Amino acid sequence: MNMNKEEYKKYAKAHAPKSPIAKDCVKAFLFGGTICAISQGLRQLYAYIWGFEVSDASALASITLSAISIILTAFGVFDNIAKHAGAGTLVPITGFANSVASPAIDSKSEGFVLGVGAKIFTVAGPVLFYGTVAGMIYGLIYYFYLMFV
């Protein structure tokens, strides 16, 4: 069967399973909203029940969610949740923690230096790099804007 690229694209599109976009969006919204509600609950717990400053409570809530995400990733539960939740688990900080922990856990058999150390940021590294560069560019633009205003 000889096909050019256009014919193959049409063939693949015709035979690909249809994605229930509305259902996926609702599930992502509900899972993401639940994660954010849990975060807010943790923040309230840390700030108003345990007496931490609000900024410290916010940091502790983020740290707690990251730790929970890493633990769920280590036990293989996070990926099962993400299959159903889609971007609902990937957008909050839980997705970032998963993207750092997954490669590290997968490569632990190769040792701490060549395995975990070398591969821990394979997914999150580009995000960190381009986020930092974008922040620097924005900061420079803002700095020069303030100079001339």
Identify whether 119 is part of a domain.
yes
Identify whether 143 is part of a domain.
yes
Total Cβ atoms within 10 A of residue 135: 10
Identify whether 5 is part of a domain.
no
Predicted confidence (pLDDT) per residue in 5-38, tens digit: 888 888 888 888 888 889 999 999 999 999 999 9
138: domain range? 13-148
Residue 123 has pLDDT above 90, yes or no: no
In the chain, the number of structural domains is 1
**Which phi and psi (to 5°) does residue 34 adopt?**
-65, -45
Position of tokens 């249809």? 18
Structure token digits, residue 140? 């420079």
Identify whether 6 is part of a domain.
no
Residue 1 has pLDDT above 70, yes or no: no
Identify whether 68 is part of a domain.
yes
Please tell me what DSSP assigns to residue 13.
H
Identify whether 3 is part of a domain.
no
Mean pLDDT of 127-144: 88
Position of tokens 């839980």? 94
Total Cβ atoms within 10 A of residue 36: 14
Residue 99 has pLDDT above 90, yes or no: no
Distance CA(115)–CA(129), nearest Å, equals 21
DSSP 60-111: HHHHHHHHHHHHHHHTTHHHHHHHHHTHHHHSSHHHHHHHHHHHHHHTGGG-
